[in-house]
Amino acid sequence: MFKKVLIANRGEIAVRIVRACQERGIRTVAVYSEVDRTALHVRYADEAYPIGPAPASESYLRIDRIIEVAKAAGVDAIHPGYGFLAENPAFAQACRDAGITFIGPSPEAIRAMGDKVQARKTMMAAGVPVVPGTEEGIDDEEALAAAEALGYPVLVKAAAGGGGKGMRTVYTPEELPRALQAARREARAAFGDDRIYLEKLIDPARHVEIQILADSHGNVIHLGERECSIQRRHQKLIEEAPSTAVDEDLRRRMGEVAVRAARAVGYTNAGTVEFLLDPEGNFYFLEMNTRLQVEHPVTEMVTGVDIVKEQLAIAAGRRLRWRQEDIRWQGWAIECRITAEDPFNNFLPNSGKITYLQEPTGPGVRVESSLYEGMEVTLHYDPMIAKLIVWGETRAEAILRMRRALEEYRIGGIKTSIPFHIQVMNSTHFIAGRLHTRFLDNFTLNAADQARHPHVAAVAAALIARERERRAAARLQPQKSPQSPWRWAARLEALRR
């Protein structure tokens, strides 16, 4: 096994990887930007090195600086986490050239599956069903003609995309030019590649993905499916395993196709094959994420497989410990992505200092977070600040447990998506498992109950401030008849009614 691993990432995933390494007896090296100097992953790692200013383009995306730190620290391997350089074949190649193991697939596999257009071609050649669409990166005129041929609505997608970046839904020819420009602009900023292609929009559809593990000895298995249909702007918000739409036969068939897709590109390490599932049970290849997924914990909870530790073992050359028939699924797991956004103001990103933090605990509850009281949440990076995962023997128990855990979760100083998640857990459509990728289009947040709380808090804060002023004044002059604390408690209680 490796002796020392550098984590080329930040936030909760960096903390997650540090912990997995420590449980394997591996020393860890963290890297950080100027604003992350006091971050939790920096505190937990055995060593930490600065790599540049706050913007990711000047720090976490600088391949040269990360490789320089890796050499100086004498690491055996680099784990990229997800996001940033995780699916960058140039980074994987730079690790190889430096004699450092990249904990992930080969540069060739990343390149083959990272280019979505090329990935579609590879999957079609392997007999994997794909969504109808264009096969090449196309210009605007070609896109107009292709959209007419496919029939609206269509999806504009970045060829080098992922994570919902560079993606737009188009319902009419009039919308297409603007969507093309926006998708190209976003793709250029996120991936340095503005090529796009079109896909026919399958609607309604579920977003169901299959987790795979593959070693360097030719063994490939799948760990079942995850339901990721609840999305906003193509960004996943809630995931669960298993899916209410997948039975044993469909799981077997989707798993076999996912394994076939991985073998088609000589894939090694952990990866995810994403599918669209239509109401008739037909599934179509969407893309392959050549990295660890944000939602990997729900699969870990129902299979008992620690995916990050398996990544380490596979990268070190070990064989998979399981055969496909060894994998069993037990219970139900749900994950809510906690983001620093205001769900009652169109999910506007929020920043500020964490003034209070109380994380939920109890049976079947898991929190993956990098938060602590006094931490400054900035707008420089992705707004996801934590993940809340629960497990239950049944889906009903998992939902009830998630409700309870969300109600216990307290993050002071910033607005978060917690109220949104609570309302989804109370939604009759969610409870019934009637999910699809446009679930949130008809979902209205009820701010009525929430709206009262800020006013109560503001009045309470004003009373507390006045009490502090009164006490300060009392220290300067004698107090003839001090105010009873019970009277203040009664006033505050009256305000809550």
Identity of the amino acid at 142: E
In this prediction, the residues of the chain whose per-residue pLDDT falls under 70 are 161-163, 447-497
Does residue 77 fall inside a structural domain? yes
Instruction: Clarify whether residues 280 and 409 are in a common domain.
Output: yes
Instruction: Clarify whether residues 309 and 192 are in a common domain.
Output: no
Q: Which residue stretches of 159-244 are H helix? A: 176-191
Residue 479: what pLDDT? 45
Instruction: Clarify whether residues 437 and 466 are in a common domain.
Output: no
Q: What angle do CA 35, 37, 39 make, to 5 degrees?
A: 95
Beta partners for residue 289, in sequence order = 272
From the list 425, 386, 426, 430, the residue with the least C-alpha distance to 409 is: 386
Contact yes or no for 398/334 (Cβ under 8 A) = yes
Residue 190: what pLDDT? 82
How many domains is the chain built from?
4
Question: Which CATH number fits the domain that encloses residue 340?
Answer: 3.30.470.20
Does residue 111 fall inside a structural domain? no
Does residue 12 fall inside a structural domain? yes
Instruction: Clarify whether residues 350 and 467 are in a common domain.
Output: no
Instruction: Clarify whether residues 36 and 154 are in a common domain.
Output: no
Question: Which CATH number fits the domain that encloses residue 27?
Answer: 3.40.50.20
Which string of DSSP letters, residue by residue, matches 377-432? Answer: E-SSS-SEEEEEEEEESSHHHHHHHHHHHHHH-EEESS--SHHHHHHHHT-HHHHT
Rounded to 5 degrees, φ, ψ at 146 are: -65, -40
Residue 239: what pLDDT? 98
Calculate the alpha carbon distances from 477 to 470, 473, 474 in Å.
Answer: 11, 7, 5
237-248 residues labelled b (16+ CB within 10 A) or e (exposed): bbbbbbbebbee
| Domain range enclosing 155 | 132-200
Enter the tokens of residue 16.
Answer: 């997650």
Instruction: Clarify whether residues 379 and 408 are in a common domain.
Output: yes
Does residue 112 fall inside a structural domain? no
Residue 491: what pLDDT? 57
Q: Just list the catalytic residues.
A: 291
Q: What angle do CA 205, 239, 399 make, to 5 degrees?
A: 110
Instruction: Clarify whether residues 412 and 274 are in a common domain.
Output: yes
Does residue 113 fall inside a structural domain? no
Residue 240: what pLDDT? 98
Instruction: Clarify whether residues 251 and 299 are in a common domain.
Output: yes
Contact yes or no for 284/205 (Cβ under 8 A) = no
Residue 44: what pLDDT? 98
Instruction: Clarify whether residues 84 and 37 are in a common domain.
Output: yes
Instruction: Clarify whether residues 487 and 464 are in a common domain.
Output: yes
Residue 431: what pLDDT? 95
Instruction: Clarify whether residues 81 and 230 are in a common domain.
Output: no
Element holding 90 (H helix, E strand):
helix 89-97
Identity of the amino acid at 40: L
Question: Which CATH number fits the domain that encloses residue 148?
Answer: 3.30.1490.20
What's the CA gap between 161 and 286, in Å, rounded? 12
Residue 461: what pLDDT? 45
